[in-house]
Structure formats: C-alpha cells, structure tokens
Structure 1
Amino acid sequence: MVETDEEDADLPRGIALAWGVAASPQRGPKREMSVESIVEAAVELADAEGLGAVSMAAVAARLGYTPMSLYRYVTAKDDLILLMEEEATGLPPENIGEVEGWRGRLEALYRATVQLYLTHPWMLDIQISGSPTTPNSAAWMDAGLAALSETPLSHSERLSIMLFITGQARWCGSILASYARIAREDHIDDAEIRRREDALFRRLITAEAYPALRAAIDDGVFLTASDPFAFGLARGLDGIEAYLPAAAAGIHDLPQPSSGVDDADIAFDKRFREARRGVREAEKALREARKLERIAARDARERARRARGA
C-alpha cells in the first residue's frame, strides 16, 4: 500500500482506490461489502456477459444489495470499470525476468498480454484514456522497460518499444477474441471461419477493382493458419535489434515533435475546412464510381457468358 499524504486528496477517486489510499466509508451495509468484493463481482459479470452488462444496479443485485449501498464504496461507474481493469490485469508473469535476453522477455510479455485479452475480452471495450496510472498496469510497463534495461536504448526509445509491443498485443487480442466469439456462437472451428472469410472475399473482391487484394486472395492468404501478428512482431523486433549498434554508438534517431503547423492547428480555418470537405466528397464519388465499375464488370461477364452459351 502506498503511504498517504496531503496530495492524495487531489487524486481521482478511482485512482486513489486502485492505489489503496482512498478513505473507507464510515457507514455502510454488512461487513461483507467492500471495494474488493464489488470489483470481483463486476469482473465475474463482465466475463460472463460482457462489459455492457455491467452497471451499478447489476453488480448490486449480484451481491444482494441495493445500488445505493455500492455508491458508498465506488462513487461512479467509470471508477468501477477502472478497478475492474486493474483487477483483471493482475501482475505480469513472475518468470519474465528469468527469460533469456531482452527479445525473449518482450515476446513473453506480448504473449501474456494477448492471453489477458482472451481471458477477459471485455477489456478491449474499455476506452483508452491515457498512460497507465494504476499499480498493475504500471507493473506491466515496468516489466517491459526492465527487459530493455541492459540495452543502449534511451528511456524514450524503450518506452516507444513498449508502446509497439502493447499495441501489437491489443490488436492481436482484439482479432482473436472476436474469432473466439464467432466460433463459440456459431459452433464452428477456426478452419471454418477462415473458409467463410475466403469465400466471402472471393465473391466480392474482383481483380478489376482490387488487383493486389485479389492476387492475395487467390494465393490463399485467408485460408492459411499462420499468425500474421507473430510475423509482424518478429520483424519489428528484428528492426530494434538492427538498431542497437547505432544506439550503442550514441546515434539515436527517435523522431522529435514537429515544430511546424499540423492539421490540429488549422482545424478551424474556413478554407481548410472547405478543402477537407472537398476531399471527402471526391473520395465518396470515387467509391461510387468503383461500385458502378464493379456492377458494370459483373454485367459484362454475364453477357459474355450468355454469348458463349448461345
């Protein structure tokens, strides 16, 4: 537990609860009620029915109390969701430090993060609101940075690499969790999911409109059981490894913030908005034209087929 001081009063309630520095309610229902029991019930509910099923009323009903009794402990649903994420995240695997080399440790963290999302897929529905500010989420980030501690990389570069690892894991977890849901709901396996996707793409994607994508489809990319995320992770780590000698020589090329003017600075400029609107309209017109092209190509093939049969 973190020691409290006068600055703790300025912490958001959910953050203070996560760090164990929030004051406990003076009065409340039976002693069985606690922040921990509320959070555990909410996690169980989300695991069973998804994040959308979680409400103060639903959690209270699961515990056998009234919603108002929960508010003595957790004053807002956003705080509850933050604490649920903290509980589900837990601490990183204890054996990460025993894995050989920075690369192996990052790969182990990546796999463990993906597994988190598969175990608690509702975590993917939580909106990202900033850098980790709870003990367990900070512990995962610390473990990743520690894995890179013996490299010549700067602290900024190490943090950038951790953002790459966590981003890749989140994207992979999102896809795998979605496929797991489809498999569960439709009672099919991964191979059948791939066959369905391949059939759909073959029906909709033509060589005339999307030549590169169609070539990939014809090569069977949607039927393969290979892991594209593992491939991307490996190539990213290859790049980091190739960069290490330069970092050791003191050559760091982490891009610095631009001093120029970007789109956010001119978002309220009238002429810029009009130009941006023109681009969107042109893109919409292009999509419509490609749609008409696909229809015309389909009709032409049908006429050619009938002509050959005549």
Structure 2
Amino acid sequence: MTELPPVVARMWGREPVSRRGPRPRLDVATITAAAIEIADADGLAGVSMSGVAARVGVAPMALYRYVGSKDELLVLMADGAVPPPPERGELTWRAYLVVWTRANRDLLLRRPWLLSVPGVNPPMGPRQLRWLDRALDALAGTELDDGEKFNVVTALSGYALSDATLVHTMMIGDPRLDDAGITGAADYGEVLAEVLDPEAYPALSAMMRAGLLRTSEGWTADSDFLFGLDLLLDGVEALIARRAPRPGG
C-alpha cells in the first residue's frame, strides 16, 4: 500500500489515531476553517501559524500537533475553501462544462487569495477532486478516451485560472498602469496605437489604429470569457465528432 504524504492523509482523515495521551482539543477541519476565515478577511498575507493558533485558542506550538507546517496549512486551505461543484441535472456535457468552468472561475474571484497559494497542483484533496470527478463524469458518454477526457478538464481548469488571474489583476489595478494613465482597455489600445510601428507589427498595429479596444467594455467583459470558453468547447466537440464511429465503418 502506498504511504500517503502527511498532508494528504490529513485531508482524507487517514492519519493514524493515537490511543495514548490526552484527547485532542482540536481537529484539522477546525484549524483549516479558521485559517480560511483569516484569508477571506485579510488575504493570504494575513495567515500565520500564530494568528491561526490565536483564533482557535491554543499556543502556536500546539498547532503543529495537527498541521506539520504553514505550507501544509496552505494546501489544506486550498481544498477546504472549495464548495461542492455544480449539480449537472439534465444538462448536456457541453452545457454542464460551461457552468462548471464559470463556477471554477467565479470561486477564484470570490476568494482571490487562492490565486496566490503555492504548490497546490495537482489537486489531491477530497473537495478539489470532487470537481474533477464531476467534469469527467459529464464526458463519460462521449467517444473520448480517458486521457482525452482528463486533458479536456485540465484545459478548462487552466482557462478558468488564467481568466480569474487576469480579471482579479485588473479589478485591483496595477500601479504601473495607473501611473501611466492606463485605466482600461481603451487607454491601453490608444497607447499601443501610438507606439507600434506598422512595419514591425503590421497586424496588431492595424487593429489598434482601427480602434479595436476603443469601445471595449473594459478588461473583464464576460463576453470575452465566453468567447474563449466557446473556442475550447468547439474544439472538444470537434474531437468528439472525429472519435464517433462512422456509418459502415
């Protein structure tokens, strides 16, 4: 039997239970919930072992009886912060994956500190893996093989992450852009139109000079998210069609 890493054993409740010594006052779920509350209020920078210990009412060193390190705590938080995935109901595989990917992106925007948690991929916690399972299950009736299904879900997860990162960055602002007077896509387009050499950047320069971003709704238009998602799912649909048995074949 494979020996589980300590943090994985904690997430799955697979740690050996000691029958010796006093009964534990705390559990991993309580500690994780306290750390998530701090991150929701103050961001990831506000999370410390001493701060979490104070919130749950123990000395900092006592916390290490339940959590091996701050890095382990961050992994526990990344899984504990994830709600149940959307229910599929009667949705087709494509309709469900639209809902799934949007919910994935929106979770990251509601708790943007998740974008800063290092070393949490690939997911190994029960909550994160439930999301993976539901997306794979939506593809169960297609002609894709297991590897293709897994790659589809990985691509959608990556898209949700990259879009959430962009949206969050633009929502909180970038001092470098603000100092340059760039507060949105329209300003960005005007700057590019000014600096791009049409001979060196013919395609991009022509688009900016034609005002591509002048009437943009901003950095975070939902239509942009759906456009990219539709591109991905069109490709998945085309792949499924190629895998389908041919009549008389």
Give TM-score scaled by structure 2 length.
0.82
Q: Distance in 2 between matches of 1:120 and 1:229?
A: 19
Identity %: 34
Q: Distance in 1 between matches of 2:71 and 2:151?
A: 28
* Match 1:201 to one of 192, 201, 205: 192
* Match 1:87 to one of 57, 80, 89: 80
Asked if residue 242 in structure 1 is aligned to residue 238 in structure 2, the reply is yes
* Match 2:138 to one of 127, 132, 147: 147
The match for 1:63 is: 56
Q: Say if 2:39 and 2:46, in contact at 8 Å, map to a contact too.
A: yes
Q: Give per-residue Cα distances to partners, 1:231-279, cap 9 Å, x unaligned.
A: 12212211221222321228xxxxxxxxxxxxxxxxxxxxxxxxxxxxx
Q: Distance in 1 between matches of 2:23 and 2:53?
A: 12
Q: Distance in 1 between matches of 2:65 and 2:193?
A: 57
Q: Distance in 2 between matches of 1:24 and 1:49?
A: 34
Counterpart of 1:92, as a letter, is P
Q: Say if 1:24 and 1:73, in contact at 8 Å, map to a contact too.
A: no
Counterpart of 1:138, as a letter, is L
Aligned length: 235
Question: What are the within-5 Å matches in structure 2 for residues 50-129 of structure 1?
Answer: 50-93=43-86, 95=87, 97-128=88-119
* Match 1:47 to one of 35, 40, 60: 40
Q: Which has the higher contact order (CA 8 A, sep 6+)?
A: 2
Counterpart of 1:246, as a letter, is R
Q: For the structure 1 residues 200 and 57, does the alpha-carbon distance in structure 2 shift closer, same or farther, using more than 3 Å as the test?
A: farther
* Structure 1 residues without counterparts, runs of 5 or longer: 1-6, 184-190, 251-310
* Match 2:166 to one of 171, 175, 192: 175
Q: Distance in 1 between matches of 2:67 and 2:233?
A: 42
Q: Say if 2:79 and 2:125, in contact at 8 Å, map to a contact too.
A: yes
Instruction: Quote the offset at 1:148 in angstroms.
Output: 0.5
Task: Mark the structure with the bigger radius of gyration.
Answer: 1
Q: Distance in 1 between matches of 2:208 and 2:197?
A: 10
Q: Secondary structure at the match of 1:174?
A: helix
Instruction: Quote the offset at 1:130 in angstroms.
Output: 4.1
The match for 1:186 is: none
Q: Give per-residue Cα distances to partners, 1:160-212, cap 9 Å, x unaligned.
A: 111111111111111111122229xxxxxxx9533443344345434354332
The match for 1:233 is: 229
The match for 2:149 is: 158
* Structure 2 residues without counterparts, runs of 5 or longer: 175-181
Q: Secondary structure at the match of 2:184?
A: helix
Asked if residue 220 in structure 1 is aligned to residue 206 in structure 2, the reply is no
